[in-house]
Structure 1
């Protein structure tokens, strides 16, 4: 999809908006419970030296996600 990437591609300091969650299992529900809902702003605030996990600011809270989780979340960069 145009202008969409997975959340794991977001670099430190970059901001985007969640466009889609591509999961239909319990992980989807867990991600939504943490505030990762379509239309929500997200900012990468840090990554470990190897890039996994990464920390994201979502709705005023910092959450850490592993690559296997952030790869299921698609974002749209602000234009």
Structure 2
């Protein structure tokens, strides 16, 4: 399942990355989004971009287009 299939309030686990550059993948990993990490989709901006997730006790905002590179499993 792709990140874009999630709705506000959903919990998910990162499975893998798809279609992201190495540098952006490393950036996500440095922010705590490594495979196996669980997060909650907290908010979506009125126009759909950016999205806010709660991961490892902090809130992180991501561009929806970049977050779409995350393959996730809904919990």
User: Partner of 1:10 in structure 2?
Assistant: 6
SS state at 2:27 partner = helix
1:22-50 deviation line (CA, Å, top 9, x unaligned): 23420000000000010100100100011
**5+ unaligned residues in a row in structure 2: which ranges?**
none
Stretches of 4+ aligned residues off by more than 3 angstroms: none
Separation in 1 of the partners of 2:31 and 2:13? 15
**5+ unaligned residues in a row in structure 1: which ranges?**
none
- TM-score, normalised to structure 2, is 0.90
Q: 2:67 aligns with which of 61, 70, 78?
A: 70
Q: How many residues align?
A: 74
Q: CA RMSD in A?
A: 1.1
Give 1:13 shift: 0.7
- TM-score, normalised to structure 1, is 0.86
